[in-house]
Amino acid sequence: MPATRIWLKNPLAIFTANALDARGGLVLQNGVIVEVLALGQQPATACGQVFDAREHVVLPGLINTHHHFYQTLTRAWAPVVNQPLFPWLKTLYPVWARLTPEKLALASKVALAELLLSGCTTAADHHYLFPDGLENAIDVQVESVRELGMRAMLTRGSMSLGEADGGLPPQQTVQQGEVILEDSQRLIARYHERGDGARIQIALAPCSPFSVTPQIMTASAELANSLDVRLHTHLAETLDEEDFCLQRFGLRTVDYLDSVGWLGPRTWLAHGIHFNPEEIARLGAAGTGICHCPSSNMRLASGICPTLDLIAAGAPIGLGVDGSASNDASNMILEARQALYIQRLRYGAEKITPEGVLGWATQGSAKLLGRSDIGELAVGKQADLALFKLDELRFSGSHDPLSALLLCGADRADRVMVGGQWRVIDGQVEGLDLQGLIADHSQAARELIAG
């Protein structure tokens, strides 16, 4: 018995992230897109199900390429509300060091549910905290992703340069290099899926120049190359970080990245703010990707990513919400709105369009994760979709539906599909006791702060 063909019919508006005319809708089967219909076109053969999308703006599922799920437990915490990155980190590290598997599971579910409700279908998380008792943090996250029915690139982060050796993190949060590399190999062997439709993937992600040794950076690059997985880290987020690299390594950030074997297309970097023109050219020539995190960059007053310069040089650009302690939300459609506005401050209104920014949140983000099966609507791509309604007060009087999503501040999808399965219906996550999750997570957050 062939799987049911579903016609997502005649959407109010549709963004394909390519040049295809999909105004007649999409035909889905076996979790993939099998037809893209132009205006007035009918499916080639009869469809068992028809979903009337005339009230919906349809997007490819949004792709979040940088997050820290665990940070949902320390949102809007008064001692760090007005701090820039380095003091913010030093104040929070001791709190985060008390993380447990149970609290991480709750934090991850909250982050994923919030992302899903915002139209996000694939999320990359950067988890780098492995205190005693939390050695299996990534395994915990895998279960949360499966429970929510999403896709994820879970990065095995690491910190190996503690305060005692001149780094930023406290000693109880750092691990030895051998432990990091052994666990990285275990996770890749156990969980990393390859090819179209992959649900769980693993990448290697030493945290930052100020929290890991050059040795673990080099060893991670060699391991990623031998096992064919991707590399991720924070880079050029603040001027403090640049100063740290100059003082400790005698190198600017991109020179340091090159010195440890990371400058290449396997790598994507979070933030990428403080690059000079020569560094931008080198990143572009290497095909190294940059995840723009506008809300976090504004919250911590870090600066503005030079997106168009990077793109012109050849570097892919994607979007990320960053951790929920420096953004305080895990909402991808709102992140796209922030990107639109902060980038207009840098480049002007004419050069930064809603379509361009939505392209970063979909096809651009997919490139960062090394995926060609998600991030756009075309035949053969995964049926990962985000559908938004424009029936709230904030949209009343709007004329262009696609622009309205960002300009009028859409913050919640009406329906979300992952691999052909509806995961959000009528603005609710299927099978999730949201109120119970909020109650348990809020209690865990209070306990974490209280110590």
- For 334, the 3-state DSSP assignment is helix
Q: Alpha-carbon distance 382 to 149, whole Å? A: 14
Give pLDDT tens digits for 283-299: 999 999 999 999 999 99
User: E strands of 252-393, at which residues?
Assistant: 267-271, 289-292, 317-319, 385-389
pLDDT of residue 248: 93
CB-based contacts of 179: which residues, under 8 Å, 6+ apart? none
CB-based contacts of 162: which residues, under 8 Å, 6+ apart? 169, 170, 171, 173, 174
Q: How confident is the model at residue 172 (pLDDT cuts 50, 70, 90)?
A: confident
End-to-end Cα spacing for the chain: 56
Picking from 412, 443, 415, 451, the residue whose alpha carbon sits closest to that of residue 430 is 415
5 secondary structure, DSSP code:
P
Q: Alpha-carbon distance 335 to 63, whole Å? A: 11
Q: Would you say 121 and 374 are in contact if contact means Cβ atoms under 8 Å apart?
A: yes
**51-55, 73-77, 128-132, 390-394 — which is least confidently predicted?**
128-132
Q: Is the pLDDT of residue 371 over 90?
A: yes
Q: Is the pLDDT of residue 313 over 50?
A: yes
> Where in the chain is CATH 3.20.20.140?
62-369
pLDDT of residue 127: 98
CB-facing half-sphere around the CA of 201: CA atoms within 13 A: 26
- Chain centre to alpha carbon of residue 288: 16
Give pLDDT tens digits for 71-98: 999 999 999 999 999 999 999 999 999 9
Q: Alpha-carbon distance 106 to 434, whole Å? A: 11
pLDDT of residue 286: 98
* Arch. (CATH architecture) of 62-369: Alpha-Beta Barrel (3.20)
Q: Would you say 397 and 403 are in contact if contact means Cβ atoms under 8 Å apart?
A: no
pLDDT of residue 2: 59
| CATH code of domain 5-60+378-429 | 2.30.40.10
The fraction of the chain above a pLDDT of 70, given in percent, is 100
Mean pLDDT over 138-147 rounds to: 98
Q: Which helix (H) or strand (E) holds 442?
A: helix 434-450
DSSP 293-315: -HHHHHHTT-----HHHHHHHT-
Q: Would you say 211 and 167 are in contact if contact means Cβ atoms under 8 Å apart?
A: yes
Q: Which pTM does this prediction carry?
A: 0.98
Q: Where do the H-state alpha helices sit in 149-211?
A: 177-191
Picking from 37, 7, 4, the residue whose alpha carbon sits closest to that of residue 22 is 37
Give pLDDT tens digits for 411-448: 999 999 999 999 999 999 999 999 999 999 999 999 99
> Where in the chain is CATH 2.30.40.10?
5-60+378-429
Q: Is the pLDDT of residue 374 over 60?
A: yes
Q: How confident is the model at residue 1 (pLDDT cuts 50, 70, 90)?
A: very low
Mean pLDDT over 7-25 rounds to: 98
pLDDT of residue 209: 87
User: E strands of 166-263, at which residues?
Assistant: 200-206, 231-235
User: E strands of 344-436, at which residues?
Assistant: 385-389, 415-418, 421-425, 428-429
Mean pLDDT over 389-405 rounds to: 98
DSSP 37-55: EPTT---SS--SEEEE-TT
Name the token pair of 407.
């300009």
Residue 81: C-alpha distances to residues 65, 74, 170, 238, 322 (Å): 24, 11, 21, 17, 16
pLDDT of residue 304: 98
Mean pLDDT score across all residues of the chain: 97
